[in-house]
Amino acid sequence: MTNVLIIGATRGLGASLAKKYASQASSTVYGTTRSEKGPIDVHDKVIWVPGIDVSEEGVSRKLVNQLGMLGAGGGMTEGGRLVFDVVVCTPITRLILMRKLSVG
């Protein structure tokens, strides 16, 4: 079973990857969106994590909390840790995450 979290899954490369992973029977796909609802034209199997804007302070905690509320974690742990393949799809997301990683 593959568990995939796609940051920026609403359009472009992120939406294409969400469709690709969601079409695989053995995958569970979570996609982030800044809005309160995910787009209807990506794939009905994608589980949307709404209100995730990587430019906001505390977004990591918010993402983990929302994943827990959506039931992520049931049967998806490895050694007691939640395991995902994480895909970051937008240039601004990559830039912000790189900046946050290099600061600490």
Domain count, the chain: 1
The per-residue pLDDT for 35 is 92
Indicate the pTM of the whole model: 0.71
Does residue 38 have a pLDDT over 60? Answer: yes
Higher pLDDT, 81 or 85: 85
CB neighbours of 104 closer than 8 A, spacing ≥ 6? none
Q: How far apart are CA 58 and CA 45, in angstroms?
A: 27
Quick one: average pLDDT of 44-67? 87
Higher pLDDT, 76 or 88: 88
| 2-28: pLDDT as tens digits | 788 888 888 888 888 889 889 999 888
Distance of CA 71 to the CA centre of its chain: 14
Q: Name the residue range of residue 38's domain.
A: 2-103
